Structure 1
Amino acid sequence: MKIGIVKETAPDERRVSGTPETVKKFRALGADVAVESGAGLSAAISDADYAAMGATVADRAATVADADIILGVQGPDPASIAGARPGAWIVAGLNPYVERARIDAYAAAGFEALAMEFMPRITRAQSMDILSSQSNLAGYKAVLDAAAEYGRSFPMMMTAAGTVSPAKAFIMGVGVAGLQAIATAKRLGAQVSATDVRSATREQIESLGAKAIFVESVAGIEGEGKGGYATEMSDDYRQAQAELVSSHIAKQDIVITTALIPGKAAPRLISDAQIATMKPGSVIVDLAVEQGGNVEGAVPGQVVERHGVKIVGHKNVPSRLAADASALFARNLYNFLSAFWNKDRNAPVLDEEIGNAIRVTQGGKVVSERLLQLAGILS
């Protein structure tokens, strides 16, 4: 069994899918590990670090040649792994809804592509969940990015020259990223409030010491949406939420938006008119900017200013913490493969529940029900 760890080539990608820690663990399972030269440099990992754990460091062609499993953070360009054998597993974040052409190319090449972001959110798969580990870091970094752009302090400061009032931070969307943003903003001393369409998050918000801001006149989602995500809301709810946000956002110094719906454009949470009501010098961080954005006027990869308010649209936010993000991502992949490792075969053997959830190509075809339903092939 050979595992190949390739260097990421996508713009703004600094992470790596394997670390010396996970190389050592894969070697202990009995696997041979090859790492593409330079794969870990942007995450502060040298080729020598990998070699010290028993990996073979080589160019890409040698890394993927005869590999049974190819690991990536983002799915590698099919042309760049043309030397890999048909039937090899591609295990990575594949962004299947957006990168459908790449998925089709994997199928045509005979690869078995496993989309780690399709991992079911069940108890036994929590340690394999790349979305949770990376979103946690994104929520933390979003607050730091906001603090870097905000021209004032976060905590209240009492000095001989007078008192500085604390910043007011509002978190919109209370998934993994939102919860971490609440906790981080609280640790920095801000007055924090938060909202979500899922009523079950009220208790989570309050448990972190933040104020829960909820629409009371129209019913939201009771409990969780599918997979822990929010689902699309009624027009009545959206109107009521817009009115609530408009009255609250004008008082905020920092706003962080995190709302995503898998396979669809991010919901619009903040309009230009609402931005115009905010105080000059306020900051909005849009963590959904790469999926269409929660904030009108947000630009992927840029910090723009509208009505005196800075709108931060950094791309690939977890990658801005490359070392820690790589460590967590690599552990997710190791936890996944090791959980299904068959000692007799010296290879992982997936069970039906998780295999069917994450497998997107097999036997030269696209087999993911999610993708086939999206294409109208399955009803």
Structure 2
Amino acid sequence: MITIAVTAEGPDEPRVAISPETAKMLVALGARVRVESGAGSRSRISDETLKAAGAEIATNATDALSGADILLRVRRPSGDEIRALKPGAIVAAILEPYDKAAIEPLAATGASLFSMELVPRISRAQSMDVLSSQANLAGYKAVVDAASHFGQTLPMMMTAAGTVPAAKVFIMGVGVAGLQAIATARRLGAVVSATDVRPATKEQVASLGAKFVAVEDEEFKQAQTAAGYAKAMSVEYQAKQTELVANHIKTQDIVVTTALIPGRPAPRLISRAMVESMKPGSVIVDLAAERGGNCEATAPGQTVDVNGVKIIAPINLAGSVSVNASSLYAKNLFALLELFFDKQEKVLKVNWDDEIIKGTLLAKDGKIVHPNFISQPAA
């Protein structure tokens, strides 16, 4: 029988890599599921509910890991944790693969390391897309947190005493997090605008009832690759776009920035001068804080005040809604693990040539094997 281990995360990570629902489904695949006691407590998942779903509760991490075939984690495990597994075991987690100095020792253990951030962006893998499931929650929470710090209402209110104007919310970056931020701000009654360098996002923004803000010249119309990613823009275009954004930000009450580039520092979208141009009481939520931030005045993990403008720079914002984040992440993991099993024979049977498995596999047999990282310089 294949044994799947799940251990508790560190003090800064409230999410967990399993839920009662996925524990039941893993057992149905023929696996033995062993969870460290208390691993789900910060996501309101008790040992009792996991046990009722068919999981075994281990007293500690050592017992959970001992001789397991598969380890499921949210964050990257230590080398000692991996060495407690069977030789050549499978590890699936958010591994942060661009950190070569941390990854190489884990690869040397001989385990098959699956980095959930690397799941290919193809239709068949949508249910495994961790970046999307967690960014969706972060986009929602960013607007809710901004509203709580704003100190004014978001919707327009018409009362006998007068009219309260609607707040103006500007979303910078229209990926999964940005789209959810737009939708959430609209539901709360704000007047919403958004910007992105990819022309295809204009229609998405409009479909959610928001205004699109961008310099729409000929270069902008060609600013997207066939795969849907943004192209590098000319210095001239960047200057025009920066001027447009600077003038727009002056009038906004809340700004949410979401721009991230894998493996690189977050692009700077908001200068300190732009911050100082905003009205006192305005709020900026920087979802790129973990990569240095989209705002020049961002202090990762802190909330700072610049001339009365609050800049909120959360780390692991999805983790602040850990009940939902853990549930979705656990389903992402299960969708990937389904590919590892022969459902009829109920045994582990990995097709190493499968497009999703090849795209997500970071290291195997003691070596980094993902083509994007074989020669990757240290982060």
Q: Is the shorter-chain TM-score for this pair beyond 0.5, marking a shared fold?
A: yes
Aligned match of 1:369: 371
Shift of 1:64: 1.2
Q: Deviations over 1:189-213 (max 9, x none)?
A: 0000000000000000000000011
Shift of 1:231: 4.5
Aligned match of 1:153: 153
Aligned match of 2:298: 298
The 2-side partners of 1:222 and 1:337 are apart by 39
Shift of 1:30: 0.6
Q: Is the 8 A contact 2:197 2:223 kept in 1?
A: no
The 2-side partners of 1:52 and 1:345 are apart by 21
The 1-side partners of 2:227 and 2:293 are apart by 21
The 2-side partners of 1:24 and 1:226 are apart by 40
Q: Is the 8 A contact 1:279 1:308 kept in 2?
A: yes
Alignment of 1:67-86 (within 5 A): 67-86=68-87
Give 1:26's aligned amino acid.
Answer: L
The 1-side partners of 2:339 and 2:223 are apart by 30
Give 1:243's aligned amino acid.
Answer: E
**SS state of the match for residue 62, structure 1?**
helix
Aligned match of 1:65: 66
Shift of 1:68: 1.1
Q: Which moved more, 1:75-84 or 1:145-154?
A: 75-84
Give 1:368's aligned amino acid.
Answer: H
User: Compared with structure 1, are the counterparts of its residues 231 and 291 closer, same or farther at alpha carbon in structure 2 (3 Å cutoff)?
Assistant: farther
Give 2:355's aligned amino acid.
Answer: E
User: Compared with structure 1, are the counterparts of its residues 323 and 208 closer, same or farther at alpha carbon in structure 2 (3 Å cutoff)?
Assistant: same
Shift of 1:338: 1.3
Shift of 1:228: 4.7
Q: Which moved more, 1:247-256 or 1:56-65?
A: 56-65
User: Compared with structure 1, are the counterparts of its residues 219 and 104 closer, same or farther at alpha carbon in structure 2 (3 Å cutoff)?
Assistant: same
Aligned Cα root-mean-square deviation (Å): 1.6
Q: Is the 8 A contact 1:217 1:240 kept in 2?
A: no
Q: Is the 8 A contact 2:65 2:81 kept in 1?
A: no
**SS state of the match for residue 217, structure 2?**
coil
The 2-side partners of 1:272 and 1:104 are apart by 38
Q: TM-score, normalised by structure 1?
A: 0.95
**SS state of the match for residue 374, structure 1?**
coil
The 2-side partners of 1:86 and 1:340 are apart by 17
2:264 is the counterpart of 1:256: no
Aligned match of 2:356: 354
Aligned match of 2:270: 270
Question: Identity percentage over the alignment?
Answer: 52
Q: Is the 8 A contact 1:106 1:112 kept in 2?
A: no
Q: Is the 8 A contact 2:90 2:111 kept in 1?
A: yes
Q: Is the 8 A contact 1:113 1:362 kept in 2?
A: yes
Q: Which moved more, 1:294-303 or 1:364-373?
A: 364-373
The 2-side partners of 1:223 and 1:243 are apart by 18
> 5+ residue gaps in structure 2?
none
**SS state of the match for residue 163, structure 1?**
strand
2:326 is the counterpart of 1:323: no
Give 1:371's aligned amino acid.
Answer: F
**SS state of the match for residue 300, structure 2?**
coil
User: Compared with structure 1, are the counterparts of its residues 61 and 81 closer, same or farther at alpha carbon in structure 2 (3 Å cutoff)?
Assistant: farther
Shift of 1:124: 0.5
Q: Which moved more, 1:75-84 or 1:355-364?
A: 75-84
The 2-side partners of 1:224 and 1:321 are apart by 33
| Number of aligned residues | 374
Q: TM-score, normalised by structure 2?
A: 0.95
Aligned match of 2:197: 197
Q: Is the 8 A contact 1:127 1:332 kept in 2?
A: yes
Aligned match of 2:96: 95
Q: Is the 8 A contact 1:15 1:40 kept in 2?
A: yes
Give 2:158's aligned amino acid.
Answer: M
The 2-side partners of 1:236 and 1:106 are apart by 44
Q: Is the 8 A contact 1:218 1:236 kept in 2?
A: no
Q: Which moved more, 1:233-242 or 1:118-127?
A: 233-242
Alignment of 1:1-379 (within 5 A): 1-9=2-10, 11-58=11-58, 59-98=60-99, 100-217=100-217, 219-220=219-220, 222=222, 224-225=224-225, 228-343=228-343, 344=345, 346-350=347-351, 351-375=353-377
Shift of 1:223: 7.0
The 2-side partners of 1:242 and 1:178 are apart by 19
Give 2:368's aligned amino acid.
Answer: V
Q: Which moved more, 1:166-175 or 1:78-87?
A: 78-87
The 2-side partners of 1:268 and 1:172 are apart by 11
> 5+ residue gaps in structure 1?
none
Give 2:75's aligned amino acid.
Answer: Q
Shift of 1:165: 0.2
The 2-side partners of 1:62 and 1:340 are apart by 24
Q: Deviations over 1:64-90 (max 9, x none)?
A: 112111001111122234311221111
